[in-house]
Structure 1
Amino acid sequence: MCGRFNIDPTPTKMRAILDALGPQASLIKTGDIYPGDVAPVLALATEGMEARAMSWGFPRWDGRGVVFNARAETALVKPMFRKALRACPVVVPTTGFYEWKTVPGSRKKEKYLFRREGEAILYLAGFAENLEPPRLGVTQCFTILTTDANESMAPYHDRMPLLLAAEECDAWLSGQGREKFLGRIPFAVQAKAADV
């Protein structure tokens, strides 16, 4: 958790982020985003926030796959994450994230898309590091922070992404109140059954 999210390019705010990538926009996958895919990420730049294309997931030490989530409770002390979290916080703009719930009395799982009511974009807190060698045409990768599920998420999963309101993105990127962000309970999200 979070193992997949969505990028719908049609909302005005998401289209503006994708357009800001310039030539890197051609690297971005839209629709369902999986670990290892290239996605738009917002990072701190000299003149405020800027959009960058990054690969989702830190390379695993054994070369097998990627680490696409980090626990908010321990990321500041884990050797794999602590330096990147302090040095390069990022915001992952999405149009929702997914979770699956087992159907009672069956082995089947239903897929749900989670969004914030009344908002076209859902912002996830994360952090990035340089990627060597580059992968899929990008030189940076990111991971998403997760935390304990709140009441709206608990019926579906015990973890959820660390969510940011649009007005909190600048503070997260600048490192203001980092520990407070890492320890808080995320705001409510709404579940909608999604096509598998």
Structure 2
Amino acid sequence: MCNLYTMRRSAAEVAAHFRIENPVASNAVDEVYPGTPGMVVREHVGARVMQSMVWGFPLRLKGMSPTAKLKPVNNIADLTKPMWVGLARKPQWRCLIPLTGFAEAEGPKGAKTRTWFTVKDQPLFAWAGLWRISDEWGPVYSGVMTDCNEAIRPVHDRMPVLLHADEYDQWLNGSFDEALDFQNRCFPDELIEMTRTNELWVKRKAPPLEGLALA
């Protein structure tokens, strides 16, 4: 489960990498948590656009008070499940999530630290995602997860569905079967770089909402 990632590149750099003609300013922060704004790339009328959206689909759990805060479902465990399949089948609801790294918690309870993962020789890369417009938070997005590769296994058994640059069009415009293939493949071990840190997992700039992964 991925509950923290970074996007430490300018709008101009994102636009150049993803071939976006008209970059726009974003209110997304460089450390992105569930329930906070992140930058998303999607297609509109045949062209790629970038847009700020909330990370996580709003979900009201059974038994929650009508006034309770909604939970952001920020990870997608299975594209074939009812919550996701309708969107996944339609390319217009697929998106690319730009990022410069993602983190997993590692260590004993109460003293977990951040372990960061990046893609070798790729200062900016993409995570496959879905988006929609919600009544509660406006445009929202969630990232597709898959089984981890051996490079990540020492820390976690799941990882984001990472895309190579030449696969962006296939994710955005391909068939549903092609989308499922991305979730069922294993990202190359040799392309993952891991950096363990002493930075406490709970030391955050702002208290984010607790993220969820819905199977």
* TM category, shorter: 0.7 to 0.9
Task: Trace 1:1-196 onto structure 2 (pairs within 5 A).
Answer: 1-9=1-9, 13-14=13-14, 16=16, 20-22=22-24, 25-30=25-30, 32-62=31-61, 64-71=70-77, 74-76=78-80, 78-87=81-90, 88-102=93-107, 108-133=111-136, 135=137, 139-176=138-175, 177-188=178-189, 189-194=192-197, 195-196=199-200
TM-score when normalising by structure 1: 0.84
Asked if 1 retains the 8 angstrom alpha-carbon contact of 2:79 and 2:180, the reply is no
Distance in 1, Cα, partners of 2:44 & 2:182: 21
Offset at 1:37? 1.0
Which amino acid is 2:182 matched to? F
Q: In structure 1, how many angstroms separate the alpha carbons of the residues matched to 2:29 and 2:120?
A: 25
DSSP 3-state at the match of 1:82: helix
Structure 2 length normalisation: TM-score? 0.77
- 1:40 counterpart letter in structure 2: M
Tell me which moved more, 165-174 or 12-21.
12-21
Using the alignment, how far apart are the partners of 1:190 and 1:85 within structure 2? 29
Give the Cα–Cα distance (whole angstroms) in 2 for the partners of residues 14 and 179 of structure 1: 26
> Structure 1 residues 51 and 26, CA, compared in 2 at 3 Å: closer, same or farther?
closer
- SS of 2:180's partner is helix
Structure 2 distance, partners of 1:187, 1:55, is 29
Amino acid at match of 2:126: Y
* Aligned 8 A contact 1:124 1:162 in 2: yes
Q: CA deviation at 1:9?
A: 2.3
Q: Is the 8 A contact 2:105 2:112 kept in 1?
A: yes
- Structure 2: how far apart are the matches of 1:193 and 1:115? 12
Gaps of 5+ in 2: 62-68, 201-215
The 3-state SS of whatever aligns with 2:131 is strand
- Post-superposition shift, 1:48? 2.8
Aligned length: 184
Q: Which amino acid aligns with 1:83?
A: G
- In percent, how many aligned pairs have the same letter? 27
Q: Distance in 2 between matches of 1:142 and 1:35?
A: 10
RMSD: 2.3
